[in-house]
Amino acid sequence: MSKIRVKRSAIWQYFSINYQENGYTIVKCNECDLMVPYCKNTTNLWSHIRIRHKNVVIENELLNQSNRKKSHASTSSKFRPSTSSRICDISEKYFDSRRDKEITRSLIQIIAENVIPFSAVHGKIFRNFVRALNDKYKLPDIAILISKYLPELYEHKRVEMSEILSKATNIHLAVSLCTDFKRRIPFMITIAYFCANGVQHHKLLQISCLKQMNETTIRENLLNVADTWEIASKVRTVVYNGKSDIVNANETEWRQIYCFGRTLNLMTRNAIRDSKIINELVNKCRNIVRLFRFDNSVAKLLRKLGENSSKISNLFKDTPDRWTTVYLLLNDINESRSILSKVFVKVSKKDVPSLTENEWRIISEMIMVLKPLHEATRELLVDCTVTISKIIPIVHGVEAALKNMDNLSQDVTFFRDNLLTLFGKRFENIERNPVYAIATFLDPRYKDIAFQSKECVKLAKHLLIKELNCFDNEKNNFDLHVDKVEVKEENKETNILWAVFDKRVQELQTESDNCVIYCSLKHELERYANVKIINRKTDPIMWWKNMGQSTFPRLSKLALEYLCIPSFSAPKNLLFSKIRKILFNREMELSTMLIRAFTSL
């Protein structure tokens, strides 16, 4: 027989027990006399009252409230603990709700930053993990995460980024194109580089899905991005990794420079392609890596020889459209020479193409020739501060390193000479380019020492004065205030890339009095030129903020504009890896809205 806990539920003021028989209980509604079965819980009884007798419930609640007020007036001292406990309950629920929202926002942040599929959040392991941290927190549904919390967080970040962009005076855009080959969709990545309050920033503005990969579409999309973020009037430079001219001088005053990384890539790939012996050897190394990575018979042979097969299976598999991977491929092959030689002896040449002594020598020399270019690319990609001013000294450093290589074989010498010829054609007038020249001269690490032509130094100074006169009315007054300019110690650490520059620093560097008087623009420029250069490891932006801004106020305005220009259109390593996850992750196919939200968080 069912046990009815009449006194423990308020429902029994509306129902009474009619009869009980063989474990079944029938109750009668006191309002309408309807017979209702009782099934050990009161759910169906409450449903009947709420649907049929809603007014009765409201009247009873009002009556109870009135009685509680009367009771409070007569016995206030007894009622106080109940009030405080109720306030505690309300505040506890409020803070629990607030804490749950904070947890959910943090969860969205984790999903977006690490590009985790939403389905993984509702997996059993993750649920158990969340329950262990906070057993009161309930994971929202995927639909709520996507429709509510993700847009909220994106909007917050968008407003935050808009505020930072509004503080910038000059903004430079890096535009990079890539294709999702799985979906055959071209994407355009736009990143903003700028200084705000003396701090350098780079922010991903948008990843756009392009209908067509042509000059007009790219230009229209770029203008749309600038208008969306309200920065069109602040944009000064566009760095682009394509061939076409996407900046229309008739529509905007933006200047365009080409991605230095893409230029290096094209030159090196062309040099390899034009050298028949080198090209055949690189393809042969690719085939060797392919066999050693995926052939089970080779793995068995390595185990018999007592060698670690993981070293071979981890040989670098290069990407044909990126020359830097060729360097890594050849370097891995060369480092694994002892293991590969043992395998070549045991297997047939039909199964695995072996390398001759001459080919091993060519590989070793190719690594030596490609190393300066690899160092240049790595330095520009790893550097999270200023890179545009490094282009001139790096170009001269690479050329000098290549010219100083002796005792190369005939084939590698042909490749090196071909590379130098391409370098000369592409960078012949690099010192006359206004962007590179001004940026290099305004970098206190290089200044005029990075130039090989004295005429180009004069041209850079002339361009500087011309630029400054656009927004500064020269005043021929002299202040008596004198500052001391701190001198950093010389560059002691050097490598193959910077050997020539560091030698010029030692030869040409002159001591100065380090006292700078605020004076006319021309005098300010000459005083800056005579100040001793700072260490190559120093951040030039921080130097201009801490010392240069007060000592050379006119030059500092232009320095903070030019030194923020990127040399690569591709994003930095961390941002690039995240973008690749978003666009090419097989587990996630995101809409355009979700792509924008993920990339901004």
CA dist 588 → 209, 478, 554, 595 (Å): 16, 64, 50, 10
At residue 11, the pLDDT reads 77
> What is the Cα–Cα distance from 150 to 382, expressed in whole angstroms?
31
User: What would the CATH number be for the domain defined by 154-259+569-600?
Assistant: 3.30.420
Amino acid letter at 35? M
User: How many degrees, rounded to 5, is the angle at CA 181 between CA 243 and CA 377?
Assistant: 50
> What is the Cα–Cα distance from 370 to 166, expressed in whole angstroms?
43
Q: What is the pTM of this model?
A: 0.71
At residue 477, the pLDDT reads 40
Counting Cα atoms < 13 Å in the Cβ hemisphere of 538 gives 22
DSSP notation for 363-425: HHHHHHHHHHHHHHHHHHHH-SS--GGGHHHHHHHHHHHHHT--S--HHHHHHHHHHHHHHHH
At residue 55, the pLDDT reads 67
At residue 51, the pLDDT reads 72
Displacement of CA 420 from its chain's centroid (Å):
33
At residue 596, the pLDDT reads 62
> What is the Cα–Cα distance from 174 to 62, expressed in whole angstroms?
67
Domain coordinates in residue numbering, the chain: 10-62, 154-259+569-600, 263-428, 433-477+516-568
**Is the sign of the CA dihedral 284, 286, 288, 291 positive or negative?**
negative
Closest CA to 579 of 4, 112, 53: 112
Closest CA to 415 of 279, 313, 304, 227: 279
In terms of DSSP bridges, do strands 171-180 and 185-196 run parallel, antiparallel, or are they unpaired?
antiparallel
Residue ranges of alpha helices (H) inside 30-140 are 43-52, 54-74, 76-114, 118-121, 124-133
At residue 513, the pLDDT reads 41
In this prediction, the residues of the chain whose per-residue pLDDT falls under 70 are 1-8, 19-24, 54-96, 180-183, 249-251, 294-296, 298-299, 302-323, 347-352, 383-384, 470-498, 500-520, 571-601
Structure tokens at 473: 């009315």
User: What are phi and psi for residue 452, nearest 5 degrees?
Assistant: -100, -20
- Give pLDDT tens digits for 198-239: 888 888 888 887 878 888 888 888 999 999 899 999 999 999
Closest CA to 153 of 78, 217, 103: 103
> What is the Cα–Cα distance from 493 to 504, expressed in whole angstroms?
14
Q: Which residue has the tokens 């080919």?
A: 359
